[in-house]
Structure 1
Amino acid sequence: MKQTISLSQPFSTAVAPRAAISTRRKLTLGWLMRELIDRLHRWRMLSRERYLLQTLSDGMLKDIGISRLEAEREARRPFWDDRVTRR
């Protein structure tokens, strides 16, 4: 059986109809739990890194190119303030 592609059909559903289904499958309890665990782990690591940044000496901060003021400002940010994972 030959499959024909309609020009009015979105490319993703015309070429790979399973691709559209797989995005809906992600919204399961297991996926949500994994996302929650990953987020909590990331927040814990951020909190620890910010604490350790605060404890570095001025010489160490100079080595990595950060001033004491920048280190203090970063350390004061709340653990959930994660600019990397924002979407």
Structure 2
Amino acid sequence: MKKIIMTTLLLCTGLIIAGCEKTYSVEEFKKNKELRGEWDARCGFSGQSKNCQNVRLASDQLRRERYGSYARELLGDTKKERKAE
């Protein structure tokens, strides 16, 4: 009986520990490309964990920042060309 109880406790402890994963912030995902890639692969399109939500937010923010800077560069070049005319 003691063996059954010990085995059950060990299995439950293992499940609890395996279910507890570190939650990364959006900023951590934005700074670390490898971490972002790892969690993006884990989550796919339908992951619902907090890390999956944060990796999507980080990717979206980085995409907006990147495209915003591209737009500013293009618009800046256009404005310079107009002033030169």
- TM normalised by structure 2 equals 0.36
Query: Which structure exhibits the higher relative contact order, with contacts defined as CA atoms closer than 8 Å and separated by 6 or more residues?
Result: 2
Larger helix proportion of the pair: 2
TM-score (norm 1): 0.35
